[in-house]
Amino acid sequence: MSEFTRDAFLGGRVTVCQPKAGFRAGTDSILLAAALDQSIKGQALDLGCGAGGALMPALFRVPGMQFTGLERDPRMVELARQGLIENHAERRAEIVEGDAGAIPAAWQNRFDLVFSNPPFFENGTIQAPSAGKEQAYLESVSLKTWINAMLFALRPKGQFVMVHRAADLARILSVLERQSGDITVLPVHSYPGNDAKRVLVRARKGLRPGPLRLLEPRYLYTQKAGPRTDWAYGLQQNADGVNWN
C-alpha cells in the first residue's frame, strides 16, 4: 500500500504504519496493549490485528513473548508486516492472513496469551461506515464466534484480554463465563460523570467460574473537552500498563 503514514505511538517508542484514509488505530489499541501483563512469556496471538495498532505497542511492552497477528484484510497485513520492519521486530512476530471465523486447527491450545480489539458493531445496527472502515467497525463473524475463536487458540489457564464497547459487556460475559474463570472487568470512561464507553476484560481459560471482579473506573479526560488524565497520559506517552489490582 503506497498511501500510508508512519505514526509514533507510546511517546515515539513505537511506529505504526497506517492507511492515510480509512480506519486508523488510536486509544482502543493503546488500552489493549497496556492491559497485557509485561512479565508473561511464551506465544501470543493478536486476533484481528489490523495494521498493528495494538501489536506494535505490545511487542515493546511485553519483551518475553513471540507474537502472531491474524488479519483478513490483505492491505492491513501488508502494513502490519511493514510495521514489524520499522520496529525491527521481524524475528519476534509474524503476520498471518486469515479470518477469525476460520482459525487453523493447528492453533488449538497453542497460545499463552490471546488479545483482541474486535469490530464493535453488528451489521445493520449502525449507518454504513465510510470507505476503509467497514472491516474495523462491522462484525465479519458474531462476537460470540470471535470470543470462541480466541478461546480455541488459547491454551488451558492461558490469558484472555479484550477491549470492547461497554454496551456489549453482557454479550461478552455470556460466552466467557462458560469457558473461563478469574474474570476481571475494567470500565473506561471518557470523563467523570459520563457513562463507560469501553471495557477491558481479562480472564483465564478453563478455570472454575468464580466471582467476577469489577474494578473502579478509569478516565481518559479530567472533564468534558478537558485535558487528558495522568492515567491516560501515562498509557499513551510513557508506555505505562494497566493496574489490574
Q: Where are the domains of the chain?
A: 11-237
Q: Which residue has the higher pLDDT, 10 or 123?
A: 10
Q: Residue 85: exposed, middle, or buried by beta-carbon count in 10 A (0-12, 13-18, 19+)?
A: exposed
Q: Is the pLDDT of residue 147 over 60?
A: yes
Sign of dihedral through CA atoms 131, 132, 138, 142?
A: positive
Q: Residue 127 has what pLDDT?
A: 47
Mean predicted confidence (pLDDT) in 184-192: 98
What pTM did the predictor assign? 0.92
Alpha helices in 100-176 (DSSP H): 134-137, 143-153, 169-176
Q: Residue 168: exposed, middle, or buried by beta-carbon count in 10 A (0-12, 13-18, 19+)?
A: middle
pLDDT tens for each residue of 52-108:
999 999 999 999 999 999 999 999 999 999 999 999 999 999 999 999 999 999 999
Q: Is the pLDDT of residue 2 over 90?
A: no
Identify which of 206, 138, 147 has the alpha carbon closest to the alpha carbon of residue 175. Answer: 147
Helix (H, G, I), strand (E, B) or coil at 68: strand
Per-chain mean pLDDT for the chain: 92
Fold adopted by 11-237: Rossmann fold (3.40.50)
